[in-house]
Amino acid sequence: MPLGLLKYGLSSEYPLEVDFPPPKALKSSYDVVIIGGGGHGLATAYYLSKYHGITNIAVLDKSYLGGGNTARNTAVIRSNYLTSEGVKFYSESVKLFKNLSNEFDFNIMYSERGQLTLAHTDSTVRAFRQRAEVNKHFGGRTEMLDRQQIKELVPCLNLDPAHLPVLAGLWHIDGATARHDAVAWGYAKEAVKRGVEIHQLTEVQDFVLDGNKIKAIKTNRGTIQCGCAVQAIAGASSILMNKLAIRAPIHTFPLQAMVSQPFKPFLTPLVSSSALHCYVQQTSRGEIVFGGGSDPYPLYNTRSTLDLKESLLAHAIEMFPFMANVKLMRQWAGITDMTPDYSPIMGKSQYDNYYLDAGWGTWGFKATPICGQTMAELVATGKTPKLIAPFALERFSKFQQVNEMGATAASH
C-alpha cells in the first residue's frame, strides 16, 4: 500500500499538501514542449524527468489536465492482443501499471479482476484460440473457457442471448482497471516535483518552421521556442498534423460510454462481447459501466446520443437480462482517432525534432505508462525503442500494418 495513502488516512488535515503549485508565466523557450496534458503527455514528461534528467519541459493543454479522453475512458487495462508486436507492447504497460501506486505514492486504484470476452461464432472461437496462444507465448495469462467454466465465473450472465448463444470465452487473468484521473494526476504530480511545468488553458495553434525543424510553437498565450516537441493530443491529432502537412490515415469518431446507479458488488470480471458490440463492468463504487464501439460516422463532438444508448443497452440486457430495470446516471463521449489497423502511431515524424504519439483510438489508456516511457526514451536519445518501432507512421506507406482490429473491437 502506498505510504502516502496511509498518511492521508490517518491525518486530520486536508489536503496534506498542494500537488500542483499555481502555474508560472510561460517561459520564452523550453528544451521539450509536450502538446497535450492527457495521460500520455504527462507520462512522457515524467519519464523524461525521471530517467533522462531532462526537466526544462512544458506540458501544454488547451483545456484542463487529463480532461480529454483520459478522463472519459472506461479504464480497461489488458494485453490480450492478437499480434506479437501488440502483445509485447501492452504487456509491458500492464507490468508498469501494477507498480504505479507505489511509484507515485498515490493510489491509482489498480484493480486486477480479469477480462472475459465472449465468442458467439466458430470463427471467433478460432481467433480466440490464436490470441490465447500468442499471449501465453509472451508470458500473458490468457486461456480459453467453455460454457460451464463461464457459468461458474459469471453466474448472472445469460449464455443464450437472443442474437447468438455463447460458445466459449477468452479469459484474460491480467485484465484490470485503474482510476483514470488518478493516473493523470499521479504522473503530473511526480513530473512537477522534478521541475516540469504544466500549463493548462494553453492551446497550440501553429508552428514556426526552420527548414526541417520546428523552431517555435504558437499558442494562445504567445510563441515559445523549443528544442523539440511531442504531440500527444489523441482525438485532435489530425488538426495539428494538418498544420505541418504530416499525412496520416486517421479518421476521427466520437466514442460514448455510460454508467448506472450503484449496486452491491455482483460482477468481478470485465465482460465483453464483440458480436453484441458491448462491454459491461462494475466499478469499485458499485456502478455498472457500459461501453461499446465508436459512433458510425466521423465527427468532432462529445455529445451523447439516444440511439447509442438504446442499441448498447439492448445488447447489455441480452447479456444480463436482470439489468432491464437499472437506472442510468450519466452518459458521455470522447473523441477518438482511429487508424486502419487499430494500432497506434508512435515515433518520429518527417521533422527532425517533432515526435508523434497519435492514433490511439479506443485503446490508449492501457498504454499510458509504456507509451510515456518509450516516447521519453525516443526524445532523449533520438533512437526509436524496439518496442515501438513497429508502430511508426511509415508502416502505412510500406504496407507493414499491425492489424489489431479483431482484438480491439468493443473490448477497448
Ligand X SMILES: Cc1cc2nc3c(=O)[nH]c(=O)nc-3n(C[C@H](O)[C@H](O)[C@H](O)COP(=O)(O)OP(=O)(O)OC[C@H]3O[C@@H](n4cnc5c(N)ncnc54)[C@H](O)[C@@H]3O)c2cc1C
Binding stretches for ligand X (CB under 6 A): 35-41, 60-63, 67-70, 72-76, 203-204, 232-236, 240, 255-257, 291, 334, 336, 360, 362-366, 412
- Residue 248 DSSP label: -
As measured in angstroms, the least distance from the Cβ of 222 to ligand X is 14
Smallest separation (angstroms) from ligand X to the CB of 291: 6
Among residues 256 and 384, whose Cβ is nearest to ligand X? 256
| CA dist list (Å): 187 to 107, 178, 372 | 12, 14, 10
Q: Please choose, from the candidates 46, 51, 117, the residue with its C-alpha nearest in 3D space to the C-alpha of residue 81.
A: 117
Q: Which single residue is written with the C-alpha cell 443497452?
A: 313
- Pick between residue 150 and residue 240 the one whose CB is nearest to ligand X: 240
User: Cβ of residue 12: shortest distance to ligand X, in angstroms?
Assistant: 35
Q: Which C-beta is closer to ligand X: that of 140 or that of 164?
A: 140
| Minimum separation from the CB atom of position 153 to ligand X (A) | 20
Q: Tally DSSP H helices, then E strands, for the chain.
A: 10, 19
* Helix 368-381 vs helix 180-193: crossing angle, to nearest 10: 30
Cβ closer to ligand X: 49 or 231? 231
User: What is the smallest separation between the CB atom of 10 and ligand X, expressed in angstroms?
Assistant: 33
* Residue (372 or 390) nearer to ligand X, CB: 372
Pick 11 or 242: Cβ nearer ligand X = 242
Q: What is the DSSP string of 343-372?
A: --EEEE-SSTTEEEEE--TTT-GGGHHHHH
DSSP secondary structure letter of residue 193: H
d(CA 311, CA 183): 31
E-only strand ranges, 136-199:
142-145, 168-172, 176-177, 197-199
Shortest distance (Å) from residue 60 CB to ligand X: 5
Residue among 204 and 322 whose Cβ is closer to ligand X: 204
Query: Smaller CB distance to ligand X: residue 162 or 201?
Result: 201
Least distance to ligand X, CB of residue 39, Å = 4
CA nearest neighbour of 355 among 4, 57, 51 = 57
> Minimum distance between the CB of residue 69 and ligand X, rounded to whole angstroms?
3
Residue 409 CA: distances (Å) to CA of 279, 373, 381: 10, 26, 35
Residue 274 in grid coordinates? 464483440
